[in-house]
């Protein structure tokens, strides 16, 4: 019995040693009347954030100082996502009524409307750029409910113009299946032109497409709860062949099961850990085992690919972004809160 007790203590201590000194969050901004969800950077120095009440934040020095703007005529809009393009240039997506995309080239002072769509049910969830020219935007299913499909539009000129993309898949979207706009991280455009996005609601799937309209993309079931309209994957990060997903039921943010899944082979197979402490809206892969996630109940760290998690902070955040070149991780959330974890 004594040997068993010593073994249990050793295992406990080894787990504590593995995590070591937990990183801390430095608050850069807080107290603004906006719920920040969009977060982007192209070079690690220029940081962009976007959120409700039309607010856009821009920093030229890695988050030390911030300039805030509301695009003229859009002060009441909810800009769920933002994508940095190049120096002083970015695009933002306004979710609905009508759904819009705006672009700036002067650090957010002036914005030009580059896309608008007032079709019934239009709701833009996320935008992603792979370089300074090529980008993609994802929206909720549109059209006849019996034959609806994900809304996709692409740009090849840095966001100046957008063309809808009639991408086909091996499975039709189900009734009640949709995409979440919690953090603007649920679509990724890859350098070869392919793109990946997860769905939730009545079905939780991963959608993978080559980017060539004449080819059908694959749809594969995810190890998340099915048939719950408010549940499913809300955030995604990709590093090589590693895909990490976080989610859950945003109406039950303290419920930790069915909140995390990871694939090490580009989405062919998934490890369902069910170990995240609560609903997650955004995730960042630091290395194959070191991953950080955030949600309405805090920020968490794993060092073993999601099997065990440690709480870094209990404050709510919607989105996070890791900058490998600077080893800094930025977070954005309610009340205009922007945080920084340095030295990762």
Q: What is the DSSP string of 142-186?
A: ES-GGG-EEEEEEESSTTS--EE----BSSPPPTTEE---SSS-S
pLDDT at 214: 84
Q: Coil, strand, or helix at residue 54?
A: coil
In this predicted structure, the answer to whether residue 1 has a pLDDT above a threshold of 50 is no
In eight-state DSSP terms, residue 226 is -
With cut-offs at 50, 70 and 90, classify the pLDDT of residue 273: low
298's enclosing H/E stretch is: strand 298-302
pLDDT at 18: 59
Strand order in the sheet with 79-86: 79-86, 89-94, 99-104, 112-117
Distance CA(254)–CA(276), nearest Å, equals: 10
How much is the pTM?
0.93
Digit-coded pLDDT (tens) for 79-109:
999 999 999 999 999 998 899 999 999 999 9
Which of 37-51, 245-259, 280-294 has the least mean pLDDT? 245-259
- What are the residues whose beta carbons fall under 8 Å from the beta carbon of 122, sequence distance 6 or more? 96, 98, 99, 139, 140, 142, 151
In this predicted structure, the answer to whether residue 6 has a pLDDT above a threshold of 60 is no
Torsion of CA 340, 343, 312, 267, to 10 degrees: 90
pLDDT-above-90 percentage for the chain: 83
In this predicted structure, the answer to whether residue 283 has a pLDDT above a threshold of 50 is yes
Distance CA(82)–CA(99), nearest Å, equals: 14
pLDDT at 10: 41
In this predicted structure, the answer to whether residue 13 has a pLDDT above a threshold of 70 is no
In this predicted structure, the answer to whether residue 277 has a pLDDT above a threshold of 80 is yes
Q: Is the dihedral of CA 323, 42, 141, 332 positive or negative?
A: positive
Distance CA(82)–CA(221), nearest Å, equals: 28
Digit-coded pLDDT (tens) for 209-248:
999 888 999 999 999 988 999 999 999 999 999 999 999 9
- Which CATH architecture describes the domain 36-342? 7 Propeller (2.130)
189's enclosing H/E stretch is: strand 188-189
114's enclosing H/E stretch is: strand 112-117
pLDDT at 146: 72
């Amino acid at each position: 019995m004594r040997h068993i007790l010593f073994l249990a203590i050793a295992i406990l201590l080894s787990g504590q040693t593995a995590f070591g000194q937990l990183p801390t969050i430095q608050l850069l901004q807080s107290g603004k009347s906006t719920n920040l969800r969009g977060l982007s950077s192209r070079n690690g120095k220029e940081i962009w954030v976007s959120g409700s009440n039309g607010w856009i934040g821009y920093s030229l020095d890695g988050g030390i100082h911030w300039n805030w703007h509301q695009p003229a005529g859009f002060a009441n809009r909810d800009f769920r996502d933002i994508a940095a393009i190049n120096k002083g240039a970015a695009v933002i997506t306004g979710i609905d009524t009508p759904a819009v995309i705006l672009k700036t080239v002067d650090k957010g002072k002036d914005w030009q409307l580059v896309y608008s769509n007032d079709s019934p049910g239009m709701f833009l969830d996320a935008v992603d750029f792979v370089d300074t020219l090529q980008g993609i935007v994802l929206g909720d299913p549109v059209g006849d409910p019996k034959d609806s499909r994900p809304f996709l539009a692409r740009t090849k000129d840095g966001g100046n113009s957008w063309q809808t993309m009639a991408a086909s898949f091996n499975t039709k979207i189900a009734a009640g299946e949709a995409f979440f706009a919690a953090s603007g991280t649920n679509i990724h455009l890859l350098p070869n032109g392919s793109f990946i996005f997860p769905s939730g609601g009545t079905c939780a799937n991963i959608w993978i497409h080559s980017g060539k309209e004449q080819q059908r993309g694959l749809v594969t079931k995810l190890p998340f709860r099915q048939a719950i309209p408010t549940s499913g994957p809300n955030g995604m990060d990709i590093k090589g062949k590693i895909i990490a997903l976080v989610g859950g039921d945003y109406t039950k943010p303290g419920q930790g099961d069915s909140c995390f899944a990871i694939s090490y082979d580009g989405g062919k197979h998934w490890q369902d850990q069910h170990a995240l402490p609560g609903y997650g809206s955004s995730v960042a892969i630091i290395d194959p085992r070191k991953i950080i996630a955030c949600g309405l109940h805090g920020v968490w760290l794993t060092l073993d690919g999601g099997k065990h998690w440690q709480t870094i902070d209990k404050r709510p955040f919607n989105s996070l972004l890791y900058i490998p070149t600077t080893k800094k991780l930025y977070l954005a959330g309610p009340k205009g809160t922007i945080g920084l974890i340095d030295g990762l």
